[in-house]
Amino acid sequence: MATVNLNAPFVSQPANDNNSRKTMIYTTDTGKWLPVEINENYGEALGFADYAGPIPEEHQAPNYLRFKMRRIYASDASGRVKQSFPIGIPDHPLYLEGGTVIVPRKGKTEGLALFVTGSVGERKTFPNAGDTGQRSGDDT
């Protein structure tokens, strides 16, 4: 079982850097990568890679595609605190094996341990087709 400490970067850096978002790379199940905006501290620990520069056309998600990243779900021992986390690579230990995620708590130096309770794979969906106005031959 894996343990990922998301609290460590928050304790070791200035408070104004703790929630900075950054373009990072998400690797799909097929090996294609896509740029996503994510909290930098979480991204590095959860398998996202750094990226800077222009995004090549072949790595941009098509406008018609709706995409949801793979995620893990975690809960504290009491079941009152629940959170989900996106996972950047298909073979990340938390996604494959489960384990513990230590998250920061406001005003505290020690983090809160959340235990992985489940996961869900990535999803790609297409929006519903609209009416084209053309007759299709059926009268329904």
Contact 18, 11 (CB under 8 A): no
Residue pLDDT, tens place only, 35-79:
888 988 889 899 999 887 787 777 766 665 678 899 999 999 999
Residue at token pair 């200035």: 14
Residue pLDDT, tens place only, 85-127:
999 999 999 999 999 999 988 878 888 999 999 999 998 777 7
What integer pLDDT is reported at residue 73 of this predicted model?
97
Tokens encoding 90: 């298909």
Degrees, nearest 5: CA angle 23-93-95 = 75
pTM score, whole prediction:
0.78
